[in-house]
Amino acid sequence: MAIKKDISQAVIKRLPRYYRSLKLLSSENIKKVSSKELAEMLDITASQVRQDFSNFGEFGQQGYGYDVDKLKLEFEKIIGIDKTYNMIIIGAGNLGKALNSYSGFVSSGFNIISLFDIEDKSNENILSIDSLTKNFIEENSIDIAIITVNSDSAQSIADKLVKCGVKNIWNFAAIDLDVPKDVNIENMFMSDSLFVLTYKMNH
Amino acid sequence: MAIKKDISQAVIKRLPRYYRSLKLLSSENIKKVSSKELAEMLDITASQVRQDFSNFGEFGQQGYGYDVDKLKLEFEKIIGIDKTYNMIIIGAGNLGKALNSYSGFVSSGFNIISLFDIEDKSNENILSIDSLTKNFIEENSIDIAIITVNSDSAQSIADKLVKCGVKNIWNFAAIDLDVPKDVNIENMFMSDSLFVLTYKMNH
DNA sequence: TAGATTGTTAATCGATTAACAATC
DNA sequence: TAGATTGTTAATCGATTAACAATC
């Protein structure tokens, strides 16, 4: 899947939305979909759908549209969810534990290997942060680390993860982490989202 | 705070980021900041900072910059976090419970009034969905409902919330909810975020 | 075949960046 | 005063939309 030019952030953020619609259509046993229909589902224009898709290849057929299941598979390849990933969680607070026990991950190919905490909670099957080593990351082929510690400790955890060779971080702490540019970060800033909501309420 | 023209979504999404930087500066007892310094913190241009601010007023002083604490207060007014809000959570799974016990909300003026669930879990101080009525919303002045049920039940819960007069929904279910246009929705699509991360990993 | 719909090129729109006069 | 930095106008850039030839 050699991609010519850089895909814009705007397009990348729409990929999961396309995928969600395709999953929905597929689950309803719908076989074909046009750019116009997809556009309506995402509340964008048909032009944009076709423009977006053209970044990755030619998936449709003139006069017909797109085969839902085929397109869904293409999107799984594009997003990279045709593979499985091993994850660890750092921070065994309420959120960390909630993510740890969320079964939806496993069914989508995301396996949580272990849950770490700064404080010693070894009684609850939670590992001490001291056992988080380069060795551990390598032996367990950890692809993604999820940070759910509080924002004060998040940067030092990120530093440690980077040192251990983690290349992908899913960050829930309300702070912009500073990491080398070969490390991917994706933030889930909950309070930012809540603030956008309060902004809208007030205007 | 009469705002002339419509503020673009791009600007609105930056507001919480400005606010986070201002909180950080304030906590470090820094008194003044220039658009250039703020720009470096957010990794944008100084021009954009000034352009963004000009949507809301004139907060700076030529030759000096911005007073950190004054600007922070302005942002609290703009975002609307100079007030307090009452919230309820629908869905007492792991995530709902985690949000329910997250103390960070209270300190920022977001009070969680109660937690509901579709299944009867009344032994755990969790209310039955049947007690979620228009009356309840009004008597408790509920401003925001947080949806943490699974995506299958999310739309019917949203319908019920709308019927009860809820005007603002913070949605954690992986589905685009259909609500009247006077109801504000802000989505926290976790899997979308995770998929953006896997996309980046693979490209 | 006629109708429908793609993929792509060109036009438009909006957001970001640059420039600079105003002024603290 | 001289230097710094704002707020704003103009220029640029990139993303979205429109149009249409290709073709199933």
Tell me the pLDDT tens digit for each residue of A36-71: 999 999 999 999 999 999 999 999 999 999 999 999
The reply to whether A19 touches chain B by the CB within 8 Å rule is: yes
Task: Using pLDDT thresholds of 50, 70 and 90, give the confidence band for residue A5.
Answer: low
Q: Is B106 helix (H, G, I), strand (E, B) or coil?
A: helix
Task: Using pLDDT thresholds of 50, 70 and 90, give the confidence band for residue A2.
Answer: very low
Phi-psi region of A67 (alpha: psi -120 to 50; beta: other; left: phi over 0): beta
Task: Using pLDDT thresholds of 50, 70 and 90, give the confidence band for residue A24.
Answer: very high
Q: Which nucleotides of D are covered by protein (CB under 7 A)?
A: 2-10, 14-19, 22-24
Taking residues A124-139, report their average pLDDT. Answer: 95
Residue with minimal CA–C1' distance to C23 is B62
| Cβ within 8 Å, pair A168-B20 | no
Q: How far apart are CA B148 and CA B180, in angstroms?
A: 20
- The chain B residue lying nearest A4, using CA atoms, is B203
Do B105 and B111 contact (CB within 8 A), yes or no? yes
Do A87 and A99 contact (CB within 8 A), yes or no? no
Which phi and psi (to 5°) does residue B182 adopt?
-90, 5
**Is the CB atom of residue B45 positioned under 7 angstroms from any atom of strand D?**
no
| Cβ within 8 Å, pair B188-A190 | yes
Q: Which nucleotides of C are covered by protein (CB under 7 A)?
A: 2-10, 14-19, 22-24
- The chain B residue lying nearest A203, using CA atoms, is B3
| Cβ within 8 Å, pair A175-B15 | no
In a mutagenesis test of the B interface, which of A189, A198, A202 is the best target, namely the one with the most B β-carbons within 10 Å?
A: A198
The CA distances from residue B19 to A154, A197, A200, B27, B143, in Å, are 19, 15, 16, 12, 22
| Cβ within 8 Å, pair A98-B101 | no
DSSP A173: S
pLDDT digits (tens, 9 = 90+) for A144-191: 999 999 999 999 999 999 999 999 999 999 999 999 999 999 999 999
Q: Between B102, B196, B202, which is nearest A16 by CB?
A: B196
- Whole-model pTM? 0.95
Of the candidates B169, B171, B172, the one whose C-alpha atom is nearest the C-alpha of residue B183 is: B169
Q: What are residue A202's DSSP bridge partners?
A: none
Q: Is B188 helix (H, G, I), strand (E, B) or coil?
A: coil
Q: How many CA atoms lie within 13 A of A147 on its CB side?
A: 29
In this prediction, residue B65 carries a pLDDT of 98
| Cβ within 8 Å, pair B186-A203 | no
In this prediction, residue B33 carries a pLDDT of 98
Comparing A79 with B4, the larger pLDDT belongs to: A79
| Look-up of token digits 């293409």 | A74
The CA distances from residue A105 to A16, A86, B163, B173, in Å, are 15, 10, 33, 14
Strand C: which residues 44-73 of A lie within 7 A (CB)? 46-47, 50-51, 53-54, 58-66
A48-CA/C2-C1' distance, Å: 27
Strand D: which residues 56-85 of B lie within 7 A (CB)? 58-66
**Is the CB atom of residue B165 positioned under 7 angstroms from any atom of strand D?**
no
Residue A122 has pLDDT above 90, yes or no: no
In a mutagenesis test of the B interface, which of A25, A95, A194, A200 is the best target, namely the one with the most B β-carbons within 10 Å?
A: A194
Query: DSSP string spanning A109-156?
Result: TEEEEEEEESS--GGGT-EEGGG--HHHHHHTT--EEEE-S-HHHHHH
10-residue stretch averages of pLDDT, chain B, 203 residues long: 71 98 97 98 98 97 97 98 97 96 88 93 86 98 98 97 98 96 96 97 94
Q: How far apart are CA B185 and CA B116, in angstroms?
A: 19
B171-CA/D19-C1' distance, Å: 38
**Token pair for A48:** 């944009």
B47-CA/C18-C1' distance, Å: 8
DSSP A7: P
Q: Between A13, A79, A201, which is nearest B80 by CB?
A: A201
Comparing A149 with A6, the larger pLDDT belongs to: A149
Neighbouring CB atoms inside 10 A of B19's CB total: 21
Cβ burial B76-105 (10 Å sphere, 16+ → b, else e): bebbbbeeebebbbbbbbbbbbbbbeeeeb
In this prediction, residue B44 carries a pLDDT of 98
Do B101 and A95 contact (CB within 8 A), yes or no? no
Rounded to the nearest angstrom, the minimum Cα separation between A130 and chain B is: 25
Q: Between A80, A188, A195, which is nearest B15 by CB?
A: A195
